Amino acid sequence: MTMERREPVEAVVARLLAAQGERRGALLPLLHDLQEELGFVGEETVAAVAHAMNLSRAEVHGVVSFYHDFRKAPAGRHVVKYCRAESCRSRGGVAIETALADRLRVAMGETRADGQVTLEPVYCLGLCAIGPNALVDGAPVARIDGAAAIERIAATVAA
């Protein structure tokens, strides 16, 4: 969870860019650093990065849009990342995803209107043999195979 930010986004970009050292000028690591610090990479950040790196907004936006990891808006209080990769899919992952989204009352890739939970896709957590899997606030949850598992996730994000 990110704290309330007081430093202007341009200053954050400049500071993180300077901290890159030998990686200076590497767009992808900078965007990851920004998401880590700010919690998301919104339009204001895209504009600041483009300006600082002498790139067009479209170039920066293209990178942010291409990678699933980047959030374009702040996340909810809880973040559920549900695995959409092949092994979890083959274990009933599509039906479970639908049931999970219904139970959490949030669409995949969205944050619920009350800000309580964000549901995001992730593509393999390295736990393929015990899927379908998710990360709930960074903690792995395996064998999401029915209503009981979904209820445990719902209880976690209700807190």
Give the residue numbers of the binding site: 83, 88, 124, 128
Q: Which residues carry a binding-site annotation for [2Fe-2S] cluster?
A: 83, 88, 124, 128
Distance CA(57)–CA(51), nearest Å, equals: 8
Q: How far is the CB of 139 from ligand FES (least distance, A)?
A: 14
In one-letter notation, the amino acid at residue 86 is E
138 phi and psi angles, rounded to 5 deg: 90, -10
Compare residues 33 and 97 and give the one whose CB is closer to ligand FES: 97
Compare residues 106 and 144 and give the one whose CB is closer to ligand FES: 144
Give the count of alpha carbons within 13 A of 88, CB side only: 27
**Helices 43-53 and 9-18: angle between axes, nearest 10 degrees:** 50
Instruction: Sort 117 into a burial class: Cβ within 10 Å, 0-12 / 13-18 / 19+.
Output: buried
Q: Catalog residues that contact ligand FES under the rule CB under 6 A.
A: 83, 85-88, 124-125, 127-128, 131, 133
Compare residues 76 and 131 and give the one whose CB is closer to ligand FES: 131
Q: How far is the CB of 83 from ligand FES (least distance, A)?
A: 3
Compare residues 27 and 122 and give the one whose CB is closer to ligand FES: 122
Q: How far is the CB of 86 from ligand FES (least distance, A)?
A: 6
